[in-house]
Amino acid sequence: MAEIESDQLQRASLDETKVKNEDEEEEECILQFLDSLDAYLTLVDSLSSSLRQGWFDLASARQSMGHTLISSKLFDHKVHSASTTINITELDADNPSDPKPQFSLSKWATTKENPSSEVPNNSNLRHRAPTSVLEDGEKSNGTQVSSVVSNDIQKERSKSLTIFGGLVSPKLRTAQVSFETALDKIVEIANARSSMLSSFSQLQLNKKSSS
Amino acid sequence: MAGRAQIPTSNSALIAMIADEDTITGFLLAGVGNVDIRRKTNYLIVDNKTTVKQIEDTFKEFTNRDDIAIVLISQYVANMIRFLVDSYNKPVPAILEIPSKDHPYDPAHDSVLSRVKYLFSTESVASDRR
């Protein structure tokens, strides 16, 4: 009799622990969702500021260079690849029912049409901004490598500007920087969106399983 | 959700844009412009001559391409094809609604926020809009 009671108590205690763990997991999921939601809204607000600055600089450039010199009619329609691209990796590939893509920006990758710049041994370095090259701890060769990478990036930046002519207004360069900043925020927003939707679908699953 | 497709991982996926001329110009300056061998671009400039059908077709094209990671769409343009944007539910490409010069961002219309608002409300999203 005492054994049966002890078993029952043990089972009740295990059930209680299980429920407690499930509650904790759900709370963690809710927190993750709310964090992602907050990050999403904050980043969108920040994006709006960067875009406003970019539009303002573009308008200033148009005023100094002339409306006909900054127009969509000048866009390059020859075959060319984007210099700034996105890398997609999948977080938690072991859970195919809850895909969570992770986006990262690859700015100003040099194109294959420009083989004149020296290629560093690690080809990944060609796709990174100078600051991340130095963060790798390769400071002894970093100065040479970073200057090569920096020159490549400057060449790609200038190529984007030359569609509007050889001599462009400084405001157009400032607009370029504003839109580059906007791109950084867009990638962060994409990641916040991915995290938010992932936590949301997890919460929906928990809701269905508990009802 | 059953039957979710695997995320196509990629090292050099594109950012597509459906927006006004100034927004597209700015992002092209930032190096995201791409023209493939079929002379197809990764952007659509929306002006007063652009039809809703063109926007719909471009949205469908961009969301079905394997080489596009993110589709940026001005929110006022997304409002023209709201049903299509709201019914999109793939993880990649990610659809991001952005403000435009003349139309500031409104979180009430954002398709992602509308989807998750359901978590906080007993009413459905569709009934909120009526």
Q: What is the band of A24 on the pLDDT scale with cuts at 50, 70, 90?
A: confident
pLDDT averaged over every residue in chain A: 79
CA distance A60 to A51: 14
**Closest alpha carbon to B72 in A153, A145, A103, A69:** A103
**Closest alpha carbon to B113 in A125, A162, A197:** A197
Q: If you average pLDDT over residues B41-70, what whole number do you get?
A: 96
CA distance A99 to A91: 8
Judged by CB atoms closer than 8 Å, whether chains meet at A80 and B35 is answered as: yes
Could you give the ipTM of this predicted complex?
0.87
pLDDT of B39 above 60: yes
**Closest alpha carbon to B103 in B46, B59, B53, B61:** B46
Between A72 and A202, whose confidence is greater? A202
Q: If you average pLDDT over residues B104-110, what whole number do you get?
A: 93
pLDDT digit string, tens, across residues A46-57: 999 999 999 999
pLDDT of B18 above 70: yes
- What's the pTM? 0.80
pLDDT of B129 above 60: no
- The pLDDT score that the predictor gives to residue A12 is 80
Lowest mean per-residue pLDDT among A25-34, A139-148, B18-27: A139-148
pLDDT of A132 above 50: no
Residues in A closer than 8 angstroms to B88, CB to CB, are none
Q: Which of A70-79, A141-150, A182-191 has the highest mean pLDDT?
A: A182-191
Give buried/exposed letters for A7-35 (b at 16+ CB in 10 A, else e): eeeeeeeeeeeeeeeeeeeeeebeebbee
In this structure, the strands spanning B10-19 and B43-45 are: parallel
| Nearest by CB: B94 against A106, A157, A194 | A194
pLDDT of A192 above 80: yes
To the nearest whole angstrom, how far is the Cα of B49 from the nearest Cα of chain A?
14
* CB A16, CB A165: distance < 8 Å: no
Judged by CB atoms closer than 8 Å, whether chains meet at B92 and A54 is answered as: no
To the nearest whole angstrom, how far is the Cα of B117 from the nearest Cα of chain A?
10
Residues in B closer than 8 angstroms to A205, CB to CB, are none
Residue A199 neighbours by CB under 8 Å, 6+ apart: A29, A30, A32, A33, A36
Judged by CB atoms closer than 8 Å, whether chains meet at A193 and B116 is answered as: no
With an 8 Å Cβ cutoff, is A161 touching chain B?
Answer: yes
B-chain residue closest to A199, CA distance: B116
B-chain residue closest to A95, CA distance: B6
Residues in B closer than 8 angstroms to A204, CB to CB, are 119
B-chain residue closest to A187, CA distance: B70
Residues in A closer than 8 angstroms to B45, CB to CB, are 72
